[in-house]
């Protein structure tokens, strides 16, 4: 944990990358990690970041395994938590949102996630009235070339390739390939 705080406070990109590589992370060329941003894991050899990746300022990533493809952008104020596995494909855009990785999240190539949105991979609803019951984890998969509009949320569901989710939609069920989805709860049109 102390190492994470140290990384967060280092103002220089080159020094952050040096310390991450020193701990065992595999980081490509021309990677930029913004001020107050941090990557936290128990084993830094499970971190792989491709070439020309940008991570904005004040972005916090806490995962057990991280793989970011080439040319992907993680914007400012992104919160990635849950301690699970996160795979981000090539050329993805992830603006300020919250991603829960407790069940695992896989984002396909060339996908754009929602600003001010949420992606959850667990469900606590069964634990509220059943003390001692464990929460359920889901492996969330977002397909390639998928676009999610501003403020949309994905709750324990998968999204197919080349799908479009309208702004403000809340996705509660799996979405097929090439679908346009809108509403709360989201429905395929």
Tell me the catalytic residues: 122
| Half-sphere exposure of residue 101: CA atoms within 13 angstroms, side-chain side | 23
Q: CA-based Rg of the chain, rounded to a whole angstrom?
A: 17
Which residues in 160-173 are b (16+ Cβ under 10 Å) and which e? bbbbbbbebbbbee
Which element (helix H / strand E) includes 5? helix 2-9
* CA atoms of 116 and 68, how far apart (whole Å): 21
Contact 140, 121 (CB under 8 A): yes
- Burial class of residue 153 (count of CB atoms within 10 Å of its CB; 0-12, 13-18, 19+): buried
């Amino acid at each position: 944990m102390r190492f994470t705080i140290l990384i967060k406070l280092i103002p220089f990109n080159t020094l952050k990358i040096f310390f991450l590589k020193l701990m065992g992370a595999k980081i490509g060329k021309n990677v930029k990690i913004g001020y107050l941003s941090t990557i936290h894991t128990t084993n830094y050899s499970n971190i792989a970041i491709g070439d020309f990746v940008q991570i904005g300022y004040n972005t916090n990533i806490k995962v057990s395994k991280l793989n970011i493809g080439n040319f992907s952008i993680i914007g400012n104020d992104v919160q990635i938590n849950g301690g699970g596995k996160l795979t981000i494909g090539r050329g993805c855009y992830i603006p300020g949102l919250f991603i829960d990785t407790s069940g695992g999240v896989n984002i396909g190539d060339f996908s754009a996630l929602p600003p001010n949105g949420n992606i959850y991979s667990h469900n606590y609803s069964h634990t509220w009235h059943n003390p001692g019951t464990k929460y359920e984890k889901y492996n969330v998969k977002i397909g390639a070339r998928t676009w999610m509009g501003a403020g949309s949320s994905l709750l324990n569901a998968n999204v197919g390739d080349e799908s479009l989710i309208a702004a403000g939609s809340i996705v509660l069920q799996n979405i097929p390939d090439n679908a346009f989805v809108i509403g709360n709860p989201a429905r395929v049109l």
